[in-house]
A and B are shown apart, each in its own frame.
Chain A
């Protein structure tokens, strides 16, 4: 019984430690935001930003301001993914748009 209790305590402690290790820090947020903003800037250069990217960037900043870095990192990563998709769209469309021309 005692052994079992010790085992449970060890397991809970490990889970708690893992949870603490997974929590995002301000530095994590800043790194994620920098990557997202760099991708968004590239989309801006291509004149092909998406409104949803901008929404996610705002969300990331709002969550960070509230000290919620897990949510902030998640939103920044989402913004980066959206920005990358808009960049891919712009590059793809450079080749594909002539296919749609009325002939």
Chain B
């Protein structure tokens, strides 16, 4: 009897152990922990300011950004994207016909999980799906045309809070978990993960650059980078991150990239879209 009670006690005690967010596959618990980490580490940064990346971390950079933003370097891309967006395909349809609300003010809902394909669909992928459905060739995910289109769509969504959904579908949760895995996995000869720079070292310097916090890092996409002298899509940014740690980049919009965008965008739920952004 005593033995049975002891075993029962052990079982109850084990069941009462709080499961950690990472172990439980619980996106909401991850969300809370992620938010708590950044707000406690940077108590002076207003929550919505995290979407401004390095400018939320460094006063000098913020001043430079404010000066640059008088004539935003992404303005040409937004204008080009607007024209592209409105120009009909050969069949007479437009991008707007492929999206809710004619594609205006919807950036905050991407990436989304597509139950039919069982895949995460980023805005960039949705744009190419739209093109192909209308008999057009897909655009290069890393090049200027895609950056211009997504810049325009982000611009029409500015201020709208990220609203990323993880539906009650094990494939959606698996995609989220894969994105989380990718984010925290070290890679490249330098043995860095995304988190090495954008969690552990957020706000620190690498040479002259201030590392952006991971919280809100997707809200500014796509970005004009002075280092590039032009616009870049999320794919371009992720591929560059890989190269910088001496890892061979994956194909643009590889499943891992789409999933990590899903994970990071979910972490930023409630924070406003600030894209297109401008970065050093």
The verdict on A70 contacting chain B, using a C-beta distance below 8 Å, is no
How far is A93 from B248 in the complex, measured between Cα atoms in Å?
A: 17
How far is A44 from B249 in the complex, measured between Cα atoms in Å?
A: 11
With an 8 Å Cβ cutoff, the count of chain A residues facing the other chain is 22
CB pair B246–A50 under 8 Å, yes or no, is yes
How far is A54 from B247 in the complex, measured between Cα atoms in Å?
A: 10
The verdict on A18 contacting chain B, using a C-beta distance below 8 Å, is no
Residues of B within 8 A of A53 (CB): 248
CB pair B187–A51 under 8 Å, yes or no, is no
For chain B, give the interface size range: 20 to 34
**Nearest chain A residue, comparing its CB with the CB of B200:** A100
Contact residue among A49, A97, A101 (Cβ-Cβ distance under 8 Å from B247): A49
The verdict on A60 contacting chain B, using a C-beta distance below 8 Å, is no
| Contacts A49-B247, A50-B189, A50-B248 given; does A100 touch B256 at CB 8 Å | no
Minimum CB–CB distance for B264 against chain A, Å: 12
Residues of B within 8 A of A89 (CB): 186-187, 191
Residues of chain B at the chain A interface (Cβ within 8 Å): 20-23, 30, 33-34, 37, 180-181, 184-189, 191, 193, 195, 199, 243, 246-248, 250, 254, 256
CB pair A54–B248 under 8 Å, yes or no, is yes
Minimum CB–CB distance for A99 against chain B, Å: 8
18 A-B residue pairs with CB within 8 Å? A47-B250, A48-B247, A49-B247, A51-B188, A51-B243, A51-B247, A51-B248, A89-B186, A90-B187, A93-B187, A96-B186, A100-B193, A101-B21, A101-B180, A101-B184, A102-B30, A102-B199, A103-B21
How far is A52 from B33 in the complex, measured between Cα atoms in Å?
A: 36
CB pair A82–B187 under 8 Å, yes or no, is no
**Nearest chain A residue, comparing its CB with the CB of B244:** A51
How far is A100 from B184 in the complex, measured between Cα atoms in Å?
A: 6
CB pair B186–A93 under 8 Å, yes or no, is yes
Within 8 A of B (CB), among A71-103: 82, 85-86, 89-90, 93, 96-98, 100-103
Residues of B within 8 A of A96 (CB): 186
How far is A52 from B181 in the complex, measured between Cα atoms in Å?
A: 24
Minimum CB–CB distance for B87 against chain A, Å: 37
Contact residue among A48, A100, A101, A102 (Cβ-Cβ distance under 8 Å from B187): A48
Residues of B within 8 A of A93 (CB): 185-187
Q: 18 other contacts beyond A44-B248, A52-B189, A85-B189, with CB at 8 A cut-off?
A: A47-B250, A47-B254, A48-B247, A49-B247, A50-B189, A51-B243, A51-B246, A90-B187, A93-B185, A93-B186, A97-B185, A97-B193, A98-B22, A98-B23, A100-B184, A100-B193, A100-B195, A101-B180
CB pair B189–A82 under 8 Å, yes or no, is yes
| Contacts A49-B247, A97-B186 given; does A102 touch B191 at CB 8 Å | no
Residues of B within 8 A of A52 (CB): 189, 246
Residues of A within 8 A of B37 (CB): 102
CB pair B33–A97 under 8 Å, yes or no, is no
Residues of B within 8 A of A86 (CB): 189
Contact residue among A54, A82, A103 (Cβ-Cβ distance under 8 Å from B33): A103
Residues of B within 8 A of A44 (CB): 248
Which one of A51, A85, A93, A102 has the greatest number of beta carbons of chain B within 10 Å? Answer: A102
Minimum CB–CB distance for B260 against chain A, Å: 12
CB pair A103–B22 under 8 Å, yes or no, is yes
